[in-house]
Amino acid sequence: MITAVLLQLLPPVPNAVKWVGALLAPLAAVIAAYKFLIQRPQLRLITGDKTDRMIDNQVRSVMRFNILNSGLGLAENAYVQFALDDWNFRGTGEKEPADDEGTNTGIQLSESILETRHNDTYYIGTRGEVDQIFIDDVLHMESEFQLFWGTVTLERFQTYTFEYSVACRTHGMKSGRITFHSGYDDITVTHTPPKFWWGPIAKAIKRLRGAKLPLNVKSEQDVWIESEDIEEESAPNSSNIILRPVATVRASSTDSKLMTVIAKATLYMGEKINENIVGTITHTAQSLQWDETWETRYPAQNRRRATTHWESDIERFSLDPPIEWSSDLEPYPSEPKEQLHVEWSVDHLVSQDKDPRGLEISESELINVDTDEEGQSPIRIEGVVENENVRDESIFVIAKFCTGEDLVLTTNHNRVQIDGGNTADFRIRAGLSPEQESRIRDCDLVTRRDLG
């Protein structure tokens, strides 16, 4: 009764206040829903940088397995679990003799700033055993840390599946899968991440925020093979035939991010089946930009560069030049060019590596000397890097040698060490054959702290 009387004595609530209250109520509900339903972590395993090589009819790769929180919230008490039922990281062959700790798979926990624990009664990835890795640190939004690493050795042309589960305090167990496809001399990795019902909403929010891509990940940019050919010529001082597959690669993008582009040619003698592979040739171009075109050219003999790499387990194809046929060797195809088939693939990485502060190229000159000691006319670019910083610095100088039509022929590089407040010289050769170097008319220079 008293309460009713008091309420009658109070002045009426203004309409404006009522409207504010009506608006704040749903806003508070949206904020609460965002905080408790959307602002949550999303854990997944991904593979980091890897190095592939061919050995004894197998493919060997040094791999790094990272844990990534791609969500919008912190992940506490994170937990990873997996088991390899029918294989381990050394393939599907017989287990190696086990010691007291189990089978040595060659996989181990990484040295990281993360505090991790493993049920280490056996090696990571032992076939038929359950691995459990506990992370005692907090994984922040968009953070990525190396979890374990090691050497993976797989049989050629096989598919292996690595299934795992992740959990943390905020969400329960979620399952993901990593699939390894072993080829002739490499391992292709595909990821099927865990599914989170709030994932699409979180992804849309990150796009609205303009979230940046992590370093060295696939971008929205597009790279494709524009044209391809097989060039034929006679080997010097012999009757052998040399064949060189060449491709023109086009890079397109909506921004000016730098890309590392990898073009790989798989060579078949006859039908395109695994049994007919005679080798692979991999070309790499550093720091390509929007709307640049690159032609995959080979280094001159005795000047092998990191830009071109070939693999073959056939002895006569394992040395440069990559494809040379002699009539003295059996079997010898009557028309090598007609029987050689090439399958091109192209991939790329984009890096957000910024221009190094306090480091700049103060001088540069494209030089074409008459002849060198080998009777060739090597084109090179020389210049000076200036370090305005107090501390010593190192930097990669990448030289993109181009034709008059801005067609990139090669992207060689040097690493330059510069003392603080000082300068350092650099010299980078094109390293191509005289015929290809005669096409060079310009050279663009790019400075990077990292080639990745």
pLDDT score of 410? 94
Distance CA 299, CA 281 (A): 12
pLDDT score of 307? 80
Dihedral angle at the C-alpha atoms of 116, 118, 123, 125, nearest 10 degrees? Answer: -90
pLDDT score of 142? 83
Edge-to-edge strands, sheet with 308-311: 308-311, 277-288, 258-269, 340-351
pLDDT score of 38? 65
In the chain, where the domains are located: 43-209, 222-351, 359-448
pLDDT score of 20? 57
Distances (CA, A) of 48 to 75, 137, 154, 163, 365: 20, 20, 18, 17, 38
Distance CA 261, CA 367 (A): 27
pLDDT tens, position by position, 205-222: 666 665 544 444 444 457
**Prediction pTM value:** 0.76
Distances (CA, A) of 428 to 282, 388, 401: 21, 23, 10
- Name residues of the chain where pLDDT drops below 50: 7, 93-102, 212-220
For 348, the token pair is 């790329």
Rg (CA), the chain: 29
pLDDT tens, position by position, 106-146: 677 887 778 888 876 567 777 778 888 999 889 988 888 88
pLDDT score of 101? 43
pLDDT score of 248? 96
Which amino acid is located at 322 in the chain?
A: P
* CATH architecture under which domain 43-209 falls: Sandwich (2.60)
pLDDT score of 330? 62
- Nearest alpha carbon to residue 152 among 90, 66, 65: 90
Dihedral angle at the C-alpha atoms of 21, 27, 28, 32, nearest 10 degrees? Answer: 170
* CATH architecture under which domain 359-448 falls: Sandwich (2.60)
Q: Which helix (H) or strand (E) holds 15?
A: helix 15-33
Which amino acid is located at 448 in the chain?
A: R
CATH 2.60.40, domain 222-351, yes or no: yes
